[in-house]
């Protein structure tokens, strides 16, 4: 069940176990291990710092990789929607949309997508945030990561 209706103001997603628990613990671990270097630069102390850095990198890339995979799915979904919904003159331009533009357009309803897609191309809007701000009938996505 959804706690609150999704809109532009609240559509970004924070995952509390990741953002408020795991990542702060990794940062504290890194700080603790760097502090350990001041007790003496030993092989173990250096290795502990390197492992702490590696864990932070792994956590960051796990998030980045998930978002990249989601972007690929969004591109596919939007190409399918656009093939069904856009008028002929815009269908030939579907490949002109960047992944970022498609991410911005994905929240648009089927009714407003053709007009918004034309606006995005005509005004050469290149970032998702201004595109999302133009969406009037917000179609929520509660499955994103």
pLDDT in tens, 113-138: 999 999 999 999 999 999 999 999 99
Q: Is 40 exposed, middle or buried (0-12, 13-18, 19+ CB in 10 A)?
A: exposed
pLDDT in tens, 69-92: 999 999 999 999 999 999 999 999
Q: Find out whether 117 and 98 touch, Cβ atoms under 8 Å.
A: no
What is this structure's pTM? 0.77
Residue 104 and residue 71: Cα distance in Å, rounded? 11
Phi/psi for 21 (5° steps) reads -120, -70
């Amino acid at each position: 069940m959804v706690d609150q209706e999704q809109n532009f103001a609240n559509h970004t997603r924070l995952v509390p176990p990741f953002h408020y628990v795991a990542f702060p613990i990794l940062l504290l671990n890194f700080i603790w291990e760097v502090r350990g270097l001041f007790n003496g630069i030993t092989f173990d102390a250096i290795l502990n710092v390197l492992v702490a850095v590696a864990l932070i990198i792994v956590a960051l890339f796990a998030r980045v990789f998930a978002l990249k995979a989601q972007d690929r799915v969004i591109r596919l979904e939007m190409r399918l929607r656009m093939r069904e919904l856009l008028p002929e003159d815009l269908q030939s331009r579907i490949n002109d949309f960047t992944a970022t533009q498609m991410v911005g357009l994905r929240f648009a309803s089927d009714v407003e997508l053709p007009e918004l897609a034309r606006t995005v191309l005509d005004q050469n809007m290149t970032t998702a945030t201004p595109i999302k701000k133009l969406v009037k009938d917000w179609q929520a996505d509660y499955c994103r990561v």
